[in-house]
Amino acid sequence: MNLGLHLFLHFSFSVLAGFFVWRLWRKPMPAFFGGLLGGVLIDFDHFIDYAIAFGLNFKLAYFTNSYYSLKDGKFFYLLHGWEYVAIFLLVAFLVKKKLAAKSFFLAVALGMGFHLMVDTLINEGMRPEGYLITYRIVNRFNLEKIVTPQDYQRYLLKKREVNFSK
């Protein structure tokens, strides 16, 4: 999918998460900030994966083509996990009377949930269980276990084509 459209979907669903929560408790700042934090800033982990693979030597083509997964055969994406959605929902539930905090945590959970749903639907080759951080930990973040066998074969072919020394 086109990167621009991908980012637009994440941004739009993040705003939608904030809107839903704002309508519940009329706390716009925590609702919209939480929605954007959960739905857009979750992708900060792509930079973490890149830094693990290449250090601080940033090359836009390597980043936009996800070469960081190719180089080391790992899929960390430490912030992409349904478990975090459950944790933020639990925290939102436990915060009883502080509506600003409740709004923030619920919006983060919804933003992350929307983000993960979009990723699950549009990222071809990723196994749905690959969006569980515990599944990735158990499988030592090994790309072969996290993507479908067909996608892993595509990764192997692509890896042979890429010259990381450029």
In this structure, what token pair is assigned to residue 149? 């066998």
Phi, psi of 75 (to 5 degrees): -135, 90
Query: Distance between CA atoms of 133 and 137, rounded to whole angstroms?
Result: 6
Kindly report the pTM of this predicted structure. Answer: 0.92
Q: Collect all residues with Cβ–Cβ distance below 8 Å to 44 and sequence separation of at least 6.
A: 79
Q: Does residue 166 register a pLDDT over 60?
A: no
- pLDDT bin (cut points 50, 70, 90) of residue 72 is confident
Q: How far is 60 from 65, CA to CA, in rounded Å?
A: 8
Q: Which residue has the higher pLDDT, 9 or 96?
A: 9
| pLDDT of 68 higher than 60 | yes
Structure tokens at 39: 């739905």
| Residue 29, pLDDT above cutoff 70 | yes
Rounded to whole angstroms, the Cα distance separating 155 from 149 reads 10
What tokens appear for 137 in the block? 């930990």
